[in-house]
Amino acid sequence: MSSNNSNQTLVAIGSAIIIALLGAVIYLYMNNNTTGQKLEATNLKLEQTIQLRDSLDTQFNEAILELDEMKGTNVELNEIIEQQKADLTKQKNRIAGLISSKRKLNEAREEIAGLNSRVEQYIAQINQLQGEKETLITEKQTLTTDLTTARASNEELMTAKATLVSEKENLEEVRAQLAEKVEIGSVVKTSKVTVQPYKIRKNGKLDKKKSAKRTDMLEICFDMNRNGVVAAGDESFQFVLMDPTGTPLLNDTQSGSFQSKETGSEIRYTYEVTEAYTNEAKNVCVQYQDPNGYQKGIHEIMIYNKGFLAGTGTFTLK
């Protein structure tokens, strides 16, 4: 082989080696560059993951703190806040899972934004409930004030009613007393009560008698006294004739009863007569026959007008 051929061969081999080395260098450079980019991308994702986790923790903790600060004495409202905190915890855990997968960081960002929106909704809801509570408290205070005022007015009305009832009772009592006085004042009194026993002959003539055995009829006479407050008109008088034993003389056709205005008890009367009254004194005589006859002894006569005792008298039969 000639020296020229050897040199050419060496040059070719050297060129091949140089080309191979250059290729290796280029490959290593390219490979190292790709690895750096991948490493840089990985570091970026890691940094984003850490930032998202920090942001999630910060926002969650701030939301929990804000909700806790909104608690008060309202048991129902506190229960709502606790339920809201539980919902936020579930959402946080779901977002943390998305962050851990590294491939769902964008979804995690959206969920974090949704977390903020939900917190704002919760706070708005709590503020609304607190406002409604304050409104209810104000209405309750107003109703309590109105109720207190109404009770006070009712007590005043009850007191006034009791006073009126008492005054009415007093007036009715006074009125009753006045009415009784007026009624007593309207009684037509009687006086000069006399009784004449008679025997009735067969021809109808009357003979005066004194014995009970021979007496068929009694003529009772009395004076109606003048009473200026009584209007003219008919006046009724009830006679109660008592036998010597104190028993009233009664019969089925002429006797009756009335209620005494003085005692309230029922009084059985023997005979009743109605006479015209003209505001002047007047003598009245009535005749009475008892089918059962008469007894010996002192008899008493009581005359009533308008339920009051108007006069009395006595007579004796032998």
- Tens-digit pLDDT profile for residues 112-121: 677 777 777 7
Please, are residues 240 and 312 in contact by the beta-carbon 8 Å criterion? no
CATH code, domain with 246:
2.60.40
Question: Which neighbouring-strand residues pair with 230?
Answer: none
Residue at 152 is within a domain: no
Q: Are residues 194 and 312 in the same domain?
A: yes
pTM for this prediction: 0.48
Residue at 175 is within a domain: no
Q: Are residues 95 and 204 in the same domain?
A: no
If one counts the domains in the chain, the total is 2
Q: Are residues 127 and 213 in the same domain?
A: no
Q: For 239-267, how does the pLDDT look when each residue is reduced to its tens digit (9 = 90+)?
A: 999 999 988 988 878 889 888 988 889 99
Q: Are residues 200 and 271 in the same domain?
A: yes
Average pLDDT over residues 27-42: 53
> Domain ends where: 133, 156, 176?
133
Residue at 28 is within a domain: yes
Residue at 158 is within a domain: no
Q: Are residues 214 and 312 in the same domain?
A: yes
Q: For 71-99, how does the pLDDT look when each residue is reduced to its tens digit (9 = 90+)?
A: 777 777 787 878 877 877 877 777 777 66
Greater confidence, 130 or 149?
149
| Residue ranges making up the domain that contains 111 | 3-133
In the chain, % of residues over pLDDT 70: 77
Please determine, for residue 110, whether its predicted confidence score (pLDDT) is greater than 80.
no
Q: Are strands 190-200 and 217-224 parallel, antiparallel or unpaired?
A: antiparallel
Q: Are residues 12 and 125 in the same domain?
A: yes
Please determine, for residue 269, whether its predicted confidence score (pLDDT) is greater than 90.
yes
Average pLDDT over residues 285-296: 87
Residue at 115 is within a domain: yes
Q: Are strands 256-259 and 308-317 parallel, antiparallel or unpaired?
A: unpaired
Q: Are residues 197 and 126 in the same domain?
A: no
Residue at 297 is within a domain: yes
Q: For 169-213, how does the pLDDT look when each residue is reduced to its tens digit (9 = 90+)?
A: 877 777 666 556 666 788 999 999 999 999 988 888 888 888 888
What is the distance between the alpha carbons of residues 138 and 56, in angstroms, rounded to a whole number? 40
Average pLDDT over residues 138-149: 82
Residue at 147 is within a domain: no
Tell me what pLDDT residue 173 has: 73
What is the distance between the alpha carbons of residues 134 and 130, in angstroms, rounded to a whole number? 6
Residue at 20 is within a domain: yes
Q: Are residues 122 and 208 in the same domain?
A: no
Tell me what pLDDT residue 266 has: 92
Q: b or e along 195-226 (b: 16 or more beta carbons within 10 Å of the residue's beta carbon)?
A: bbbbeeeeeeeeeebeebeebbbbebebbbbe
Q: Are residues 19 and 104 in the same domain?
A: yes
